[in-house]
Amino acid sequence: MQLSERKIKIMQAIIRNYLETGEPVGSRTISKYTDLNLSSATIRNEMSDLEEMGYILQPHTSAGRIPSDKGYRLYVDTMMEEKDKELEELKEMMLEREDKMDHLLKQVAKLLAVNTNYATMISAPTIHTNKLKFIQLSRVDVNQLLAVVVVEGNVIKNNIIPVSEKLDDETLLKLNILLNTNLNGLALEEINLSMITAMKQQAGIHSAIVADVIDAIAESIRADEDLEIYTSGANNIFKYPELADQQKASEIINTFEEKQMLTELVQDTLADENNTGIQVYIGNETPIQTMKDCSVVTATYELGEGMRGTIGIIGPKRMDYDKVVGTLKTITHQLDELYKKKT
């Protein structure tokens, strides 16, 4: 069966109405709601077709219809009219001088949560494609070195390295020069074995230290590959009865707290290369099992080249997709702007 123009209009009406009320919507409601001027009986026939086609379903025999995952999918793919959401506060908040990346991200997460009434998450941008900008070894203690690594974008990593041998200032200086001249401007992937070997040779008797340092650098950068995720508004899920029962709520809250599972979502979003930047997971489409009763909308944001992170909004399936997509577009755009301005 084909989806006639009229069926589409009815689907749209059903979904719109259901998004608002959260109640199954009946034929009579649609009959009045739309400008189609059809009686409830006609609508019933059409709805019966739509149900057969899998776009809507009945919770029980004598209830109205609610959209199925397939129905939502249809809506998101073809029927959405993006509302552009003004985020007045956003600019102000972002422009507050926030040199600390993590603070900024936390704020964005919170802002989004307050603004949308859904739960939100944001992952710190992954930096592994980025270039080393500065390396410094310092002696902090008799047997401890401090390695500071700055990556493009001013992301700073520290690592304490225990050393057994004593190093005098001069050696330290040499090592610093050695490291910086050799590694500066390189991306992590570009550091290969032959380079390391070469550096070890140059370091002479201190080759052990060089190895340690390289390890530390690698580790301190990789440390973030169990990546930093900030969340906010988890308690918003209590606003939607269909998610608020103990079982589900507990699972979702847990997912949010553990964050571990959210990384999958991030990976999945970042992995999809050929996307416009926004992805919508409806119900079972989500990579996170515990969220199969939710919908998740994710966006990829980009800070300069190579630094990409993910913003996600998690809500009920009857989420206001139009608004959420609009908001996410605005936010990612703003983040982009912000970065350009800073550099």
CB 73, CB 29: distance < 8 Å:
no
User: Does residue 99 belong to the site contacting a second copy (CB under 8 A)?
Assistant: yes
Instruction: Tell whether residue 128 is a contact of a second copy (CB under 8 A).
Output: no
Q: Is 340 in the site for a second copy (CB under 8 A)?
A: no
Task: Give, as ranges, the residues between 77 and 96 that touch a second copy (CB under 8 A).
Answer: none
In the bound complex, what is the minimum distance in angstroms from residue 119's beta carbon to a second copy? 9
Task: Give, as ranges, the residues between 30 and 69 that touch DNA (CB under 7 A).
Answer: 37-42, 44-45, 47-48, 51, 58, 60-65
- Name which of DNA, a second copy, none residue 146 binds, using a CB cut-off of 5 to 8 Å depending on partner kind: a second copy
Give the nearest distance from C-beta 249 to DNA in angstroms: 19
Q: Helix, strand or coil for residue 310?
A: strand
**Cβ burial, residue 56 (10 Å; 0-12/13-18/19+):** buried
For residue 146, give the H/E element and its range: strand 144-151
List the interface residues with a second copy, window 190-249 (CB under 8 A).
Answer: 223, 231-235, 238, 244, 246, 249
Burial class of residue 207, CB neighbours in 10 A (0-12, 13-18, 19+): middle
Q: How many residues are present in the chain?
A: 343
The window from 87-95, 148-156, 193-201, 306-314 that contacts a second copy (CB under 8 A) reads 148-156
CA 79, CA 186: separation in Å to the nearest integer? 46
Task: Report residue 53 as tokens.
Answer: 């086609």
Closest CA relative to residue 294, chosen from 258, 264, 331, 255:
255
For residue 117, what are its two tokens? 């009434």
Binding a second copy (rule: CB under 8 A), the pick from 3, 134, 187, 196 is 134
The residue range among 20-28, 94-102, 173-181, 221-229 that interacts with DNA, by the rule CB under 7 A, is 20-28
Q: What is the full DSSP assignment across 34-75?
A: SSS---HHHHHHHHHHHHHHTSEE-SSTTS-BEE-HHHHHHI
Would you say 39 or 144 has its CB closer to a second copy?
144
Positions that interact with a second copy (CB under 8 A):
99-100, 133-134, 136, 138, 140-141, 144, 146, 148, 150, 154, 156, 158, 160, 223, 231-235, 238, 244, 246, 249-251, 253-254, 256-257
